[in-house]
A and B are shown apart, each in its own frame.
Chain A
Amino acid sequence: MFPKLDPLLHSELRLAVMSILAGVDEADFTYLKKQTGATAGNLSVQIDKLTAAGYITVEKGFKGKMPRTTCRMTPAGQEAFGKYVEALREYLSASK
């Protein structure tokens, strides 16, 4: 019996955001936008979904006079991401 893949993470853009956040303390919205190549609107919607699930936190502030939105992965997000990667590995090893 294979573990079920988390549908929230099994989406290209959300998975890319989580993968980036897995390797850093926190990342700016502009950085995530550049890295994923997504539009601001689309990225914003996906970030809201990840936030609602408790996988990431979003903090709004300022860097100098410029508004800044910072995203950070939560412990729940780290756990879900870890489980997702583990499930993918199981799928792949079973298919070999």
Chain B
Amino acid sequence: MEQNKEMTAQESLQLISESFNKSRKDILRGSAKYFMLWGALLTVTSLAIYLLWHFTGKPQWNFLWFAMPAIGYPLAALMGKYDEALPQNEVSKMLTGVWRVFGAFAITLSAIAVFLVPMHVTLIIVIIMGLAECMSGVLLKNWPIIIGGFLLGVGGAVFAMLVKNDAQLLIFTLGGVLLLITGLVMKLQYK
């Protein structure tokens, strides 16, 4: 790129538009790997707990849920540290905010349900997870993600009321796969 090149008005506007869009694509593609990280972690954790609970009959395996943020947050921080220095734009900031709020709700409510006040935590978490996924779709202007989030929230809530015990965990496996797909969609959408 040359600093002294004479540009026409058309070329200048095109340059502005291209630079802006390229940067936007890079930033959103950079966010995709975090969706994939949490999607993979959720899929593996929920499946592991489901299998352990199913074959041993011990619901205490649910304590393994607390391992997920314990592994996920340091891993995400590590990925950010060695990552290319990508800036944040309005969309990536809002995406981060939505999922941080979801994480805070999910961890706090799970801890309250386990240690203080018993509640149907699967029902609550699947609804807010569907909502967070829906909001991500709105921010990314992506209808499949919006619909996926809606189906996860509403379908998951119905499923959580209909099935009992270990089978409920399969909702989160589905949620994890949905997050993985969201990450892949973002990678492709902003290629």
On A, residues with C-beta under 8 Å from B are 10-16, 19-20, 22-28, 30-31, 34-38, 42, 45-46, 63-64, 68, 85, 88-89, 91-92, 95
A37–B12 CA distance with the chains assembled, in angstroms: 17
- Which secondary structure dominates where chain B touches chain A? helix
Contact B22 A88 (CB under 8 A): no
On B, residues with C-beta under 8 Å from A are 1-5, 7, 9-10, 12-13, 15-17, 19-20, 22-24, 26-27, 81, 84-89, 93
Contact A12 B15 (CB under 8 A): yes
Contact B13 A92 (CB under 8 A): yes
Given contacts A12-B3, A14-B3, A20-B19, contact A91 B87 (CB under 8 A): no
Chain A residues lying within 8 Å of B26, measured Cβ to Cβ, are 35
Given contacts A24-B87, A31-B84, contact A88 B1 (CB under 8 A): no
Given contacts A19-B20, A37-B1, contact A25 B88 (CB under 8 A): yes
A88–B13 CA distance with the chains assembled, in angstroms: 7
Contact B9 A23 (CB under 8 A): no
A89–B14 CA distance with the chains assembled, in angstroms: 12
Chain B residues lying within 8 Å of A25, measured Cβ to Cβ, are 87-89, 93
16 CB-based A-B contacts, threshold 8 Å: A12-B2, A12-B4, A15-B7, A19-B20, A23-B20, A23-B23, A23-B89, A25-B88, A26-B87, A30-B85, A35-B23, A38-B1, A63-B85, A89-B13, A92-B9, A92-B10
Given contacts A36-B1, A85-B13, A92-B9, contact A16 B27 (CB under 8 A): no
